[in-house]
Structure 1
């Protein structure tokens, strides 16, 4: 994996941070525009860069927040192909949630399990409890524990 030059990295990071602030304020269109602008700065092939992972995750988060679950899955699958994407618990969490919302409970269970295995129950802390409840219904607690 190559690294972006420092000036470009700073531009991408700044746009991404601006997008995160807009997202947190509920301005999904503004956030998406900032993430797109940062994405456009990445040299080809875009998915080779570490920044691609968090930009795609952020774009998927916007899709998820809009209820566009199929779009979120497509973007997250692309993110999973970025450096460290397959090991990223957030990618698995949002994939699991998106599959859950699309009615694909098998894939949802697999992805939510991977998120849980990588990050523990804490990753579900700020999420709708239905996702952890679903996981509890399909996954046995660790040995010596009563619950996940």
Structure 2
């Protein structure tokens, strides 16, 4: 089995654990996949996906600082700035950490990339309230 097959296998295992709400387990598996990537610049798409997944898992555990660190790191990779979900999750982390202006900036980027739907799709988590956004930023 080559490295890319191993990474894919780890990604699938991590996804399964995430779906079972075993966020720490998913992070551990995804970190194993990251450790296999020798040159992150060569495999940036995999690194981006793994860092976003790890950040998402930390967010689900209310570990907002760790989530934010992983997501901000992900934004250093090509095409990340065009991903509405990353900006949305960064905005949620910033909000939870009390960084309201930074939160609004990230949420506005998410809105500009994906429209109002991004908020409707993720409202069920209970961590972000759509009325907060609509009262602060006139959509």
Asked whether the two chains share a fold, i.e. TM above 0.5, the reply is yes
Give unmatched runs, 5+ long, in structure 2: none
- Residue 71 of structure 1 deviates from its aligned partner by 1.1
Measured in 1, the distance between the counterparts of 2:68 and 2:114 equals 20
- Out of 19-28 and 122-131, give the one that drifted further: 122-131
RMSD, aligned α-carbons? 1.8
Deviation string, structure 1 residues 30-69 (Cα, Å, up to 9, x no partner): 111111111111112x255111111000110111111111
Partner of 2:79: 84
| TM, length-normalised to structure 1 | 0.82
Measured in 2, the distance between the counterparts of 1:123 and 1:11 equals 32
Change (3 A) 1:73 1:15: same
Larger Rg: 1
Alignment length, in residue pairs?
Answer: 135
| TM, length-normalised to structure 2 | 0.87
- Residue 122 of structure 1 deviates from its aligned partner by 2.0
- Out of 90-99 and 11-20, give the one that drifted further: 11-20
- Residue 70 of structure 1 deviates from its aligned partner by 1.0
Measured in 1, the distance between the counterparts of 2:50 and 2:41 equals 10
